[in-house]
Amino acid sequence: MARVITPTYWEILDILPALLSVLGFALYSAITGAFRGEAGADTYQHHLIQAVLTKATNRFSPLQLQYVSKSFRQIYVQYCNDKDVIPNFVTTQGGLSGFWLGSKDAKYVIINYHGGGFCFDATDEHLGLWARIQEELSGQGIETAWFFPMYTLTPHAAYPKQFQEAVEALRYVIDEVGRSPSDIFLSGDSAGGNLCIAVLSHLSHPSADAYELKIAKSLKGVVLLSPWVSFDTDFPSVDRNVEKDIEDRGVLKKMADLYLNGHSTNPYIEPLIASGEWWKGVKLEKALIVAGSDEVHLDSIDIFVRRFTASNLETTFVVARNECHIAPIVWPAFGDLHETEQEKAIKAWMKSNLG
């Protein structure tokens, strides 16, 4: 079991000054936003959203944000209360906790790993996105069950704990729930997308860092929303989009360092390290990879896609114009409820490939 680390007394006292710092920066951004030019976000509202989020994740520590934020468990309970359904929590034989949306007997099961740089828990908007997709699929007569692992966050544990838990989630659905790999999709955003790819790597190239999982059939598919495939911040898109996105070099380094915690990197940590040969024989039928044109990760995702698709032709790559990293999760949190191109792409692909 991972040790639970709590904020120090001084970190708790620092929450108010940190909040005031973010509010002050929000006021500054409100003024400078009018002069952002083409290097800035596409709209004034998006400029404010992305500037404030970048400042907040730089100024607050992960422990401080975990301290003041709702847990994924609390978010799910509230969702169930709002929908008047009974929460369905489980603990796997391997000790992983998670919960279900939908019947385990549905035609397809989707395992969803949430993002947040491995250090931030899922938000209402994480659950809201995938619940909307589930509802839309149901409206088309496609019944799905979604399993959400509540994996351990950094700094309470570092790699390989989260990787091990990602593998355990798939093992649970196959061995304990009794579902065929050919009925299972993996999905995830950002760091969650990273975990999806790590599981795919593990199925083809078993790592000594996790339980070996052998499957007789390929997984049905994977849906990756802005996957975090490299910790390198020297790509041109980082400079090009840093004023448009929700992350900058400081945030990315902080999250990567916490996840590595001194561990040497490898293809299960950074998929972009792997060559094109690595992706031959991936146990997967189809893949969808979605990104925003305004995100700092765009170049690294593009390189990964080109290597991956060389051996996996049933891969669709969509770049949504003028959208930031995980826009369908970020923007609704600040009142922008319009359907993003990223969300539309996921819905269209899943309707086409689950029908």
Calpha distance 308→277 (Å, rounded):
9
The DSSP 8-state label assigned to residue 174 in this structure reads: I
What does the pLDDT profile of the chain (355 residues) look like in tens digits? 567 889 999 999 999 999 999 999 999 999 999 899 888 999 999 999 999 999 999 999 999 999 999 999 999 999 999 999 999 999 999 999 999 999 999 999 999 999 999 999 999 999 999 999 999 999 999 999 999 999 999 999 999 999 999 999 999 999 999 999 999 999 999 999 999 999 999 999 999 999 999 999 999 999 999 999 999 999 999 999 999 999 999 999 999 999 999 999 999 999 999 999 999 999 999 999 999 999 999 999 999 999 999 999 999 999 999 999 999 999 999 999 999 999 999 999 999 999 7
Q: Which tokens belong to 18?
A: 């940190």
Calpha distance 13→215 (Å, rounded):
50
In a domain, 253, yes or no: yes
Residue 214's CATH number: 3.40.50.1820
In a domain, 55, yes or no: no
In a domain, 235, yes or no: yes
Cβ(186)–Cβ(223) below 8 Å: yes
Domain count, the chain: 1
Is the peptide bond prior to 160 cis by the omega test (within 30 degrees of 0)? yes
Calpha distance 288→350 (Å, rounded):
9
Alpha carbon of residue 276 to chain centroid? 23
Residue 179 structural domain: 70-354
In a domain, 39, yes or no: no
Q: Convert the pLDDT of each residue in 40-56 to its tens digit.
A: 999 999 999 999 999 99
Amino acid at 219: L
Amino acid at 133: I
Phi (first) and psi of residue 111, to 5 degrees: -95, 120
Phi (first) and psi of residue 9, to 5 degrees: -55, -40
